Structure 1
Amino acid sequence: MNSTSGADPADAVRVWRGLADTCVLLDGFHAIKHALRFGARVPAALTSDRAGVLALADELAPDVRQALEALLAPVDDERLRALVPRLHPTAVAALAERPSRDGNLEALGRLPRAAPVIVLDDPRNLGNAGAVIRLAAGFGATGVVTTGTLDPWHPTVVRGGAGLHFATAVERMEVAALPPGPVFALDAEGEDIRGLKLPDDAVLAFGSERSGLSAALRERADHLVSLPMRPQVSSYNLATSVGMTLFHWSAGSPPGAGGPPGPQA
């Protein structure tokens, strides 16, 4: 595969255009940092502030500094904005190869597993989906599955996930094809989660921001579970609900015994 590394600006732009339709857009320093940390193949990276990006790497992510230095091709700001209309303030963008669907489906379907799978049932908000993927990666979840029409690899979702799609398995699936494991679906009429222990092989399902659980997902559920909420409060944000549920799961396991990784620098 071609690479922008070492290319002059015009050649770097040509390589970028040739890859853009088949690769995942990583918009901003943090998305590229995370993608590199978790093994993404990144054939192209452009910046209008090479010195500034490398200074950020020195300060925040020295572990990827060498890889970034080899990847970054300098282009002027006008050219970069023509390629990435919503350019991140860090003035850098990259293209990464999307992980294979077969590999992700294998990871999602493997048993036993050490951490739950998150299911977003027909989500509608791209930013919320990205925030959930970021949470799932942070807790070490096995993966995030979406049902419905939303593309979990949409550039806005990847931006919201800060590149952490590469730290977990992210795929779109039909409800009938969900990964194996007991399905705990979040619902206001369900059993209070505080009285439950969520198993590591759980499939944790969350309804859409607008209409809640679909009929198909509700029928598939083994357990309906509710989060504690003050009366007259309508609902929590989707990412907040996922975060609360994953924290409850992790609190049932001591560090290193099925829970998320420990604190990182």
Structure 2
Amino acid sequence: MRFDLITLFPEMFAAVRDQGVSGRAHQRGLWSLHAWNPRDFTHDVHRTVDDRPFGGGPGMVMMAEPLAQAVQAVRAARRQAKADPADQAAPVVLLSPAGQVHDQARARRWAGSAGAILVCGRYEGIDQRFIDRYVDQEVSLGDFVLSGGELGAMVLIDSIVRLLPGVLHDAESAEQDSFNPALTGLLDSPHYTRPEVWDETAAPDILLSGHHARISAWRRQRSLELTADRRPDLIDRARRAGDLSPRDEAALAAIRAAGADDEAGPVR
């Protein structure tokens, strides 16, 4: 897998390239990262990549030509490296508030691909003509705005790379992540480790029992409780997809009943 980053700040990507799980995977050659600065594709002494917006208004807009030249150079490099399938070039992806929201299902689909060309915008935005001509997909991380696309690109890369075969020491770790199909898209259950008693609080006895079936049932119950409390929209989504078992529905009914009792307060 190869990611090419078009960015004014290539040095920012040392964090995802050199550190942690993604860094170890990069060192082992499980994926690669290549950064391209649009300033290297300018032809004036100031290496200009932005200008005032037509129609007036605050801020600056990234110019189309340096970005287009960068994309063309990336595509040539990927062809030379045979990084893409013969019948499909890597998509050009723009980190943008107007994009589809990235999620775990999308990360899993991308983990089976050859990577992407990620365009990191800055300033007030990018000349729409470049987007119309070159961008295949726009991706958002949520309903908030960052100073540029670099942090979003790093989050995107990390979410995908950790799902590649051989990246995690235990492949089952990714299967138990929140939002994964193994959990029918729900939140993961709470976790505990040594010591058994910390600050006068003991870890749940069931997790120390060695009874795998009961532990699994406990974790599912906690997952349902946490999701119903924090992200009820995920419960609704799993229900519409038919991913909740009769046992899950019974547990959720009990959770709702307990919540109703708590709201009603003590009987007087």
Query: What interval of TM-score do these two structures reach, taking the shorter chain for normalisation?
Result: 0.3 to 0.5
| TM-score when normalising by structure 2 | 0.36
Query: Larger Cα Rg: Structure 1 or Structure 2?
Result: 2
Structure with larger RCO (C-alpha < 8 A, sep 6+): 1
